[in-house]
Amino acid sequence: MPREILDLTKSLTRGINVKPENSLFADYLASAQDVKVCPFGLGYYDFTRSGYTVFGTWPNPQTLVSLNEIFALGTTTVFTANPSTWALTSASVVDTSGNPASPTAGGVWHTAMIGDLWVACNGNSMLISGADIITTDNAPNTVGTLKGRLLAGGMASFISSASADNINSLRVSHGDYSSFSLEENMLYYASADIMDFFHLLFGTFNKELLTQYFQNNEAGYLPMNWKGKIHCIKELGDGAVVYGESGIAFVKFEESPIALSRVDLASYGIAERGAVAGDIFEHCFIDENLKIRKITPDLKISEPLYDDYTTGFTDSIVGTFDPIERNYFFCDDVFGLVLSDSGLSLVTASYSSMFVHGGSLIKIASASASGVQKFTTGFFDMGSRDHKLVVGVRLGTTVESRVRLRYRDSSLVSISTSSWVTIDATGYAEFMISAIEFQIEVERTGSGTPSYTSLFVEYERNGKLGLSGRL
């Protein structure tokens, strides 16, 4: 029989896309580990951990880079990090009375920088910068910034009912809101000098001051048009996206009389507080149905990019972002996903924080990735339900690798697996396997910087009309 060639190179440029075991999908990979999906194929990415040593428990620590210092925010502790040695030094943390204290454990820390001041929230506690860092459980659920001003979301546990009554009396002449209850879906926008926020925080309610702030639209509240917590606030374009339990909205500052406007973007929410990553140019998030989506400054939310790969997460999700190569990472304490502009792959490391220092990306993780690059194609049948004889596989790569086949006659029978075959100097691995459906596994075995740029299968039709196996 004449030999034919099946080109599977496209799958290397598109990455993984989860499909059921009984599906055929030659245009995507079933798995790709510790590689980055690139326009030319699977490329090298440095997944090595760097920076300071991880402490506390997942999903912490997160990193806050202030004007003068680098802070590592742990589960119940705070350290400063020396960027020359990455040694950690315990920071002084006190309660609102000035007594030594620790923040209450929570989830992922969200941070907001306002000039030389910073605020951080983990869902249970808040940290406020100063000579001594102040911690209090009288805290919003999350914080963010918009045009250098503080936004705080989830205010129900932050303001006492007495203060809420006073605020209601101030809002009669402000905007369209005459009264409201402080719920978890309430967004607070602070004044430029942020003093109103601290009056509310420390219980020194100054009615005259807040009246001035509110009537001048310098500060106020904006309810979201959905129920449940505000999980995350992140700037995008000329505004900020407010991600919640059951909805997503976009807010931006306007001229009087409405200081902060809202546009509802989605009637679904995000999976949890850590399920967002990105910058002002683009966000990537995991929605409440565990679908990965993107949103751009034109406020268009993408259709789900991948099918259910996030169902493998068993602990809190932490989204991080590489602004240099523009890769998104979503990790739990076991494994992670990395999404490039070209596609999705897996990483055997759990990153809790990423930031740029000295022009380099610092990746905070308990351990580096395994360093074993490997991938598996989807099942393919060459467009025929007859038996085919796979003669060999040719791989375009820069490193020594080995290949093996998985094969079957249908999705109703068990999968057989060949022995590993090391590719020769031309990238070829010889097989003589007859079946109807095939899958290729590739694993790096040599040293060097790996890349995989092409993948071809050499086969004959009607290789055998009986049971699968080696001819």
pLDDT digits (tens, 9 = 90+) for 187-235: 989 888 888 787 777 766 566 777 777 777 788 888 899 989 999 999 9
The tokens of 205 are what? 């309610």
Query: Exposed, middle or buried: residue 99 (CB in 10 Å: 0-12, 13-18, 19+)?
Result: exposed
pLDDT band at 161 (very low <50, low <70, confident <90, very high): very low
Q: Is residue 11 in a domain?
A: yes
Q: Is the dihedral of CA 411, 416, 420, 423 positive or negative?
A: negative
The answer, yes or no, to whether the previous bond of 103 is cis (omega within 30 of 0) is: no
Which among 338, 260, 261 is positioned nearest to 305, based on CA atoms?
Answer: 338
Q: Are residues 325 and 377 in the same domain?
A: no
Are 290 and 388 within one domain? no
Cα→Cα distances 77→67, 340, 431, Å = 21, 33, 57
337-391 tens-digit pLDDT: 999 999 999 999 999 999 999 999 999 999 999 889 999 999 999 999 999 999 9
- Please provide the average confidence, as pLDDT, over all residues in the chain: 89
Q: Are residues 350 and 465 in the same domain?
A: no
| Domain identity same for 303 and 257 | yes
CATH number at residue 211: 2.130.10.10
Average pLDDT over residues 64-74: 95
Which whole number is the average pLDDT over 236-251? 97
233 in a structural domain: yes
Examine the domain organization and report whether 379 and 361 are in the same domain.
no
Q: Are residues 84 and 136 in the same domain?
A: yes
Q: Residue 302 gets which letter from DSSP?
A: P
Per cent of the chain over pLDDT 90 is: 70
Q: What is the CATH number of the domain that holds 402?
A: 2.60.120
| pLDDT of 179 | 43
Residues 80, 194 within the same domain: yes
Domain boundary among 365, 386, 409: 365
Q: 186, 229 in Cβ contact below 8 A? A: no
38 inside domain: no
Residue 386 within a domain: yes
Q: How many structural domains comprise the chain?
A: 2
**Residue that finishes a domain, picked among 365, 387, 410:** 365
Separation between Cα atoms, residue 294 and residue 302, nearest integer Å: 5
Long-range residue pairs from 224-228, CB within 8 A, at least 24 positions apart, any chain = 224/185, 224/186, 224/187, 224/249, 224/262, 225/249, 225/262, 225/264, 226/185, 226/264, 226/267, 226/269, 227/183, 227/185, 228/184, 228/185, 228/269
> What pLDDT does residue 236 have?
98
Residue 354 β-bridge partners: 363
pLDDT band at 181 (very low <50, low <70, confident <90, very high): low
Do 149 and 190 meet the contact criterion of CB atoms below 8 Å apart? yes
Is the pLDDT reported for residue 131 higher than 50? yes
Read off the pLDDT of residues 364-379 as tens digits, 9 standing for 90 and up.
Answer: 999 999 889 999 999 9
> 57 in a domain, yes or no?
no
Query: DSSP of 38-85, one letter per residue?
Result: ETTEEE-------SSPP-SSTT--EEEE-SS-EEEE-SS-EEEE-TTT
The reply to whether 75 falls in a domain is yes
Residues 239 and 180 in one domain: yes
- Please say if the pLDDT value at position 399 is more than 80: yes
Residue 395 inside a domain? The answer is yes
For residue range 406-439, list pLDDT tens digits in order: 999 887 789 999 999 999 999 999 999 999 999 9
The SS3 call for residue 396 is strand
The answer to whether residues 152 and 287 belong to one domain is yes
> Which structural domain, as residue segments, surrounds residue 199?
62-365
Final residue belonging to a domain, choices 332, 365, 398: 365
